[in-house]
Amino acid sequence: MRVLNDANQQSGASRNGKAAASRDQRGTAAEGFDYLIVGAGFAGSVMAERLAAQYGQRVLIVDRRPHIGGNAYDEHNSDGVLIHRYGPHIFHTNAQRVVDYLSRFTEWRPYRHRVLASVDGMLVPMPINLTTLNLLYSLNLSPEQAEAFLAARAEPVSEIRTSEDVVVNKVGRELYEKFFRCYTRKQWGIDPSDLDRSVTARVPIRTTTEDSYFNDVFQCMPREGYTRMFEKMLSHPNIEVKLGTDYKEVRKRVNFGKLIYTGPIDEYFDHCLGKLPYRSLIFRHETLDQEFFQSVAVVNYPSESVRHTRITEYKHLTGQQHRKTSITYEYPNDEGDPYYPIPRPANAALFKRYQALAEFHPEVTFAGRLGSYRYYNMDQVVAQALSTVERIAEKEGMNQVA
Ligand code: FAD
Ligand code: UDP
């Protein structure tokens, strides 16, 4: 991997994905590349690695940010605490193929994600489970009684379309208001009744004491962090990485055959059909002179009384021992980097129109969370990237070199 950083050509820090920045400043624009990949997040990096290592393609991967890893980027802050610059990223999947693939580049630290929610002046497990109900209502229900308790409150909805329907149908309006309505309004800037059902359906409702946030069989953190994993993924000699570089600047300067674009699809087409809405976040990072701040990695704040949605404390995720601790508050926002495609029918319809436009541009492949306008988790992006490369290889008749 050769890493060139337009934003900071001399930087050679090893923990931020710029390790090789000063090693080789020659650049290879004149030599040409088989592929230009826009975006060095999961989507772009996995495709770069596969095209280079499996099919011997020469790849230039660019990112407008000064680092690799996309939103999964992690770094040691000035106090030496490993943090996630773009909020908490917990790896979880049921796809063995994805685990096998990523395990080539990282070892794993077993980690089960547990979340508490601050409700009615208490910290209770989220997803709602038996413990949550017993604490909230000062009860001592068994799992069967908890099922009956929720069934008595549930308001059956005949056709479940929205994020409100999903929750109200299972637990009724009171718990919906306490845990979901306001959190969702803060997070998305719209009411759950205007949001696709898939959004709140991500969070299970349980009547046992199971308190894992995710149901997936594989839940782990990359042992040395995400950035280290990306560095290994992009270390193939056929891959050149150019950071601090926007696609629009590089496209005329570089010879390349095909394009893979993992940025926002509407931006690629200069928003010619209108802007696809995205939700952004402001991250407030703090380091505290104490060993721990809260008892779990994430505490959610579903009430209207504070503007942040959650606070993350990284040492629970990473297992790092340190006398200080770092935390991040997340404040949802309309403006800023596009972190979340907003799943609702009008947006899906606009995306379909961009997709139809993309069919007239076979020279470019769109992928990733922004290129596909899908609320994908990391494992889904990796799975999509692996399949996309297989599809490209078949279409182009590429031979495997490894
Ligand atoms: P990205 O990581 O967004 O990468 C795209 C890259 O393209 C960016 O670095 C961007 O700078 C670059 N780019 C865009 N346009 C251009 C351009 N014109 N020129 C140059 N570069 C460009 N998933 C999980 O599985 N578990 C979690 O716990 C989890 N937590 C999350 C928490 C937050 C706050 C957020 C926002 C997401 C979370 N995710 C989580 C989702 C995860 O971040 C994504 O699934 C994954 O990172 C998407 O990878 P990607 O490569 O598609 O996109
Ligand atoms: N959600 C909520 N209250 C919570 C947690 C989640 O209302 O305490 C809803 C909210 O709409 C959120 C969605 O469920 O956006 C999905 O939650 P998840 O934790 O998966 O969101 P992410 O980690 O992707 O931000």
pLDDT for 283-322, tens place per residue? Answer: 999 999 999 999 999 999 999 999 999 999 999 999 999 9
Give the amino acid at 388: T
Contact assessment for residue 333 and residue 366, using Cβ atoms and an 8 Å cutoff: no
Q: For 309-368, how does the pLDDT look when each residue is reduced to its tens digit (9 = 90+)?
A: 999 999 999 999 999 999 999 999 999 999 999 999 999 999 999 999 999 999 999 999
pLDDT at 268 over 80: yes
Q: What span, in angstroms and rounded, lies between the C-alpha atoms of 226 and 234?
A: 12
Give the pLDDT of residue 26.
Answer: 33
The residue extents of the domains of the chain are 2-68+234-275+342-396, 71-114+212-223+278-340, 140-201
pLDDT at 8 over 50: no
Q: For 126-162, how does the pLDDT look when each residue is reduced to its tens digit (9 = 90+)?
A: 999 999 999 999 999 999 999 999 999 999 999 999 9
pLDDT at 29 over 80: no
Percent of the chain topping pLDDT 90:
92
Give the pLDDT of residue 402.
Answer: 84
Work out the average pLDDT over 248-274. 97
Secondary structure element (H or E) that encloses residue 288, with its range: strand 278-288
Q: Number of helices (H) and strands (E), helices first, in the chain? A: 14, 18
Work out the average pLDDT over 35-61. 98
Q: Judge if the beta carbon of residue 203 lies within 6 A of ligand 2.
A: yes
What are the beta bridge partners of residue 119?
A: 122
The token duo for 40 is 């060095």
**CATH 3.40.50.720 for domain 2-68+234-275+342-396:** yes
Secondary structure element (H or E) that encloses residue 353, with its range: helix 345-358
Give the pLDDT of residue 329.
Answer: 98
Q: Judge if the beta carbon of residue 184 lies within 6 A of ligand 2.
A: yes
Give the pLDDT of residue 6.
Answer: 56
Give the pLDDT of residue 5.
Answer: 63
Task: Give the lowest-confidence range in 22-26, 98-102, 171-175, 373-377.
Answer: 22-26
For residue 345, cis peptide bond before it (omega within 30 degrees of 0): no
Work out the average pLDDT over 34-43. 98
Protein residue with least CA distance to atom 10, ligand 1: 39
Q: Judge if the beta carbon of residue 86 lies within 6 A of ligand 2.
A: no
Work out the average pLDDT over 227-231. 98
Contact assessment for residue 117 and residue 123, using Cβ atoms and an 8 Å cutoff: yes
Percent of the chain topping pLDDT 70:
93
Q: What span, in angstroms and rounded, lies between the C-alpha atoms of 139 and 121?
A: 17
Query: Which residues' Cβ are closer than 6 Å to ligand 1?
Result: 38-44, 62-65, 70-72, 86-90, 246-247, 262-263, 281, 339, 368-370, 376-379, 381
Taking the centre of ligand 1 as the mean of its atom positions, its distance from the CA of residue 72, in whole angstroms, is: 6
In whole angstroms, how far apart are CA 258 and each of 52, 285, 375? 14, 39, 26
Q: What span, in angstroms and rounded, lies between the C-alpha atoms of 123 and 166?
A: 24
Q: What span, in angstroms and rounded, lies between the C-alpha atoms of 125 and 214?
A: 13
pLDDT at 87 over 60: yes
Protein residue with least CA distance to atom 9, ligand 2: 200
Task: Give the lowest-confidence range in 5-9, 98-102, 130-134, 250-254.
Answer: 5-9
Taking the centre of ligand 1 as the mean of its atom positions, its distance from the CA of residue 113, in whole angstroms, is: 20
CA angle 366–259–354, rounded 5-degree value: 35
Q: What span, in angstroms and rounded, lies between the C-alpha atoms of 18 and 13?
A: 6
